[in-house]
Amino acid sequence: MNLRDLIYGVTLEAVVGNTGAMIAHLQFDSRKVSLNDCFVAVKGTLTDGHDYIEKAVNQGALAVICEKLPETIINGVTYVQVDDTQKALAIMAANYFGKPSKRMKLIGITGTNGKTTVATLLYELFRKAGYATGLISTVKIMINDETFEATHTTPDSLTLNSYLNKMYIEGVDYCFMEVSSHGIHQKRTEALTFAGGVFTNLSQDHLDYHNTFAEYRDVKKSFFDHLPKNAFALVNEDDKNGLVMIQNTKAKKYTYALKTQADFKAQVLENQFSGLLLKINNNEIWSKLIGNFNAYNLLAIYGVASILELDELEVLRIISELESVTGRFQYQNSDKNITAIVDYAHTPDALKNVLETINSIRTGNETLITVVGCGGNRDKGKRPKMGHIASALSNKVIFTSDNPRNEDPEAIIADIEKGVEPQNFKKTMSITDRKQAIKTACQLAENNDIILIAGKGHESYQEIKGERFDFDDFKIVNEFLKQLNK
């Protein structure tokens, strides 16, 4: 592509060289640069692409996009100075792939909890309704029936546009995409054209990255601020931040709720381990999903499908067929009728929702054993809150490692334990090795007891000291339950 066309729409501060140069590929990773590529020097959280400009030029870069011009200008290379290389990369990535988001209906789902479930269930619903559909989620990327591995909740803008372009080539009509606060803040979604946005809820998370809760909220809100007027914005009105999200949006506003009046309203009639009986806009429907939090998720997907004018009865029929998403309240019963539940709950609010759901369904005669930890190098403020909630709402708790990353797992557990009230200490124990913690929970469980393993959900690895080791909560708990059955 011609460099002039590639930088169309980017605010330029200075240009040194020829913008008519023909560019082979767009890159922001200097290791991938080859002959006639354009290198964008992006400032990341750990490294600064400006430190690799010389390397990129030596590898054949024909153009460099940067926030500060290098001291040494190489003849024959075009240098373009911009205010924000992250934003420039997003605009250029969209240009490079022909603005694929404009060629389909792209729906973004944001919030603290429920993003993966809502995006995935929307993908499943629209596929079952006969549409060519794409999914960009924490768990996986789907283009119709083809699966690709996901590495981030919201991929970088170059990867995003690459997948959206593949979706366009494959004739995708609708794409449902998780939009994280990191992705918004780092401008990964800049230059994408959204046909709609969904807000699920907001509670404490990522305060290691965002300095305050208000900043975290406002980053989420900025996604709705930038929706075009021909898009829609659907928000959870029961969340106190729901209406805040759409204060300044140009998009058409819709609400959904269980507790208050809204455009899309539902009532939970029955809540069991076998599923939910819901009344949605006066239609009764049985779902295989469990818990009030899933009632919200189902109502959100019903709202999106209604806004996009799918047939109501067909939508309700398909919703009744939908299965739970991997690692989201995924449960298994043993021969001894021990129920093991694996859930991604890694925030205080999500853990509270899952435990309250279990407690609302159980008879009270069973023992509820919770295995939980917190990730290393992440928001430390939520650790005591997780400890408080787990110990208050469970009969027994085992604190353990999650993904300790580069932190001492025992120090993380000590932070969690700070939230346990004195009367609940006798319920708790600490086992640093997560596999041993799950094994102990299985050994403690008796007939009809319930085990919740929280925090990692769909993840098939454990990250320790920069390495990822195979680790799947669901597989491991199933293995131990089978051993107990023998």
What pLDDT score does 248 carry?
95
Q: Give the chain's mean pLDDT.
A: 93
What pLDDT score does 13 carry?
96
pLDDT, tens digit, 9 for 90 and up, residues 418-428: 999 999 999 99
**What span, in angstroms and rounded, lies between the C-alpha atoms of 167 and 162?**
9
Report, as ranges of residue numbers, the positions in the chain whose pLDDT lies below 50: 206-208, 210
Q: Which CATH number fits domain 100-321: 3.40.50.300, 3.40.50.10490, 3.40.50.261, 3.40.1190.10?
A: 3.40.1190.10
Q: Which residues contact 205 (CB under 8 A, 6 or more apart)?
A: 112, 216, 346, 347, 379, 382
CB 372 within 8 A of CB 401: no
Indicate the domain borders of the chain. Answer: 3-85, 100-321, 330-485
What pLDDT score does 206 carry?
46
What pLDDT score does 210 carry?
44
Is the domain spanning 330-485 CATH 3.90.190.20? The answer is yes
pLDDT, tens digit, 9 for 90 and up, residues 302-361: 999 999 999 999 999 999 999 988 888 888 888 788 999 999 888 898 899 899 989 988
Phi, psi of 430 (to 5 degrees): -125, 125
pLDDT, tens digit, 9 for 90 and up, residues 55-81: 999 999 999 999 999 999 999 999 999
Strand intervals (E) in 232-282: 232-236, 252-257, 264-272, 275-280
Strand intervals (E) in 181-250: 196-199, 232-236
What pLDDT score does 211 carry?
63
CB 361 within 8 A of CB 290: yes
- Looking at the chain, the number of H-run helices and the number of E-run strands are 15, 24
Task: Please identify, in words, the CATH class of the domain defined by 3-85.
Answer: alpha beta
- Can you state the angle between helices 348-361 and 383-393, rounded to 10 degrees? 10
Torsion angle of C-alpha atoms 241, 245, 246, 250, degrees rounded to 10? 180
Torsion angle of C-alpha atoms 224, 97, 67, 49, degrees rounded to 10? 110
The predicted model scores a pTM of 0.84
